[in-house]
């Protein structure tokens, strides 16, 4: 994934989590309700948003072959230490898959990577055909739900799992504060490559200065803001955009596949 930064602003995340309805997928901020779906994980993170259900493949597994990966290695830091010393090959690809899934796409709420992800390691040739966007999005819903239940019961705060980084990106993309000028429909993907640490800091200062994520004094982009413009286009123009979108999906799938082979962290 072409991420500009993996920076999370935890105070902002706590506020966003409190504004996020896991039953509807709606984020209520600045007087607006923004509906998030798994397709946003595709455009924001550059993940395939079609294909086989990852959760289904994991749940169908009757046993998890460990491919020589010790349980002590099932942490992001341990996998990273192994990856930077390994040559390219099947073992490298398997550990890289575990690292990406367990630290970015769907991390747990603790330092360990779920052993259930081991069941994916014999499916390396099928990775590009899996719906990773849905897997990431549903992980966010599950993690936020668990976190909120724990808070409501007065349990001690624990680290939240899931790709909550996705929730931060979704929020930032809708801020109409002069950092982004193109309508949502016109922006290049994946969006994660746009949000550098400096841009996130600038956005946060703007929001804090105007009263936080619940304040109605912050302008927002929403898809409905561009409905009139889209309705005015002719059929041929819309068909051209659809064809371009399909080409982008193919490119994104290829990018994920190449990343799993070539990227070394």
> Residue 113 falls within a domain, yes or no?
yes
Range of the domain at 236: 10-262
> Residue 221 falls within a domain, yes or no?
yes
Give residue 230's pLDDT.
37
> Residue 3 falls within a domain, yes or no?
no
Q: How confident is the model at residue 133 (pLDDT cuts 50, 70, 90)?
A: very high
> Residue 2 falls within a domain, yes or no?
no
The beta strand positions in 42-198, using DSSP E, are none
Q: Are 202 and 208 in contact (CB under 8 A)?
A: no
Give residue 232's pLDDT.
42
Q: pLDDT tens digits for 8-41?
A: 888 899 999 999 999 999 999 999 999 999 999 9
In Å, how far are 145, 157, 159 from 150, measured between CA atoms?
A: 9, 8, 11
Q: Are 122 and 92 in contact (CB under 8 A)?
A: no
Q: Regarding predicted confidence, which is higher, 69 or 257?
A: 69
Pairing state of beta strands 26-29 and 20-21?
Answer: antiparallel
> Residue 129 falls within a domain, yes or no?
yes
> Residue 232 falls within a domain, yes or no?
yes
Q: Is the pLDDT of residue 226 over 50?
A: no
Give residue 183's pLDDT.
78
Q: Are 105 and 131 in contact (CB under 8 A)?
A: no
Alpha helices in 85-226 (DSSP H): 90-100, 132-152, 165-173, 197-209
Q: Is the pLDDT of residue 234 over 50?
A: no
- Percentage of residues in the chain with pLDDT exceeding 90? 56
| Residues facing residue 34 across a β-bridge | 27
Number of domains in the chain: 1
């Amino acid at each position: 994934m072409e991420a500009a930064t993996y920076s999370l602003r935890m105070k902002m995340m706590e506020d966003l989590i409190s504004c996020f309805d896991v039953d509807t997928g709606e984020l209520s901020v600045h007087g607006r309700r923004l509906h998030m779906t798994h397709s946003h994980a595709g455009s924001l993170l550059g993940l395939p948003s079609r294909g086989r259900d990852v959760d289904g493949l994991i749940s169908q597994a009757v046993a998890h072959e460990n491919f020589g990966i010790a349980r002590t290695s099932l942490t992001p830091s341990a996998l990273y230490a192994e990856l930077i010393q390994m040559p390219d090959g099947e073992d490298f690809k398997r550990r890289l898959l575990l690292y990406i899934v367990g630290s970015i796409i769907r991390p747990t709420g603790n330092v360990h990577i779920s052993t259930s992800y081991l069941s994916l390691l014999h499916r390396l040739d099928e990775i590009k055909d899996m719906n990773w966007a849905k897997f990431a999005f549903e992980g966010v819903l599950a993690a936020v739900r668990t976190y909120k239940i724990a808070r409501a019961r007065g349990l001690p705060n624990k680290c939240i799992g899931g790709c909550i980084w996705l929730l931060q990106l979704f929020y930032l993309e809708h801020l109409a504060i002069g950092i982004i000028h193109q309508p949502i429909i016109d922006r290049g993907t994946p969006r994660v490559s746009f949000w550098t640490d400096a841009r996130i800091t600038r956005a946060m200062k703007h929001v804090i200065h105007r009263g936080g994520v619940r304040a109605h004094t912050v302008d927002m982009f929403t898809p409905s803001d561009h409905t009139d413009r889209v309705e005015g286009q002719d059929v041929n123009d819309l068909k051209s955009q659809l064809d371009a979108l399909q080409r982008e999906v193919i490119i994104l799938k290829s990018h994920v596949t190449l990343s799993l082979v070539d990227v070394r962290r």
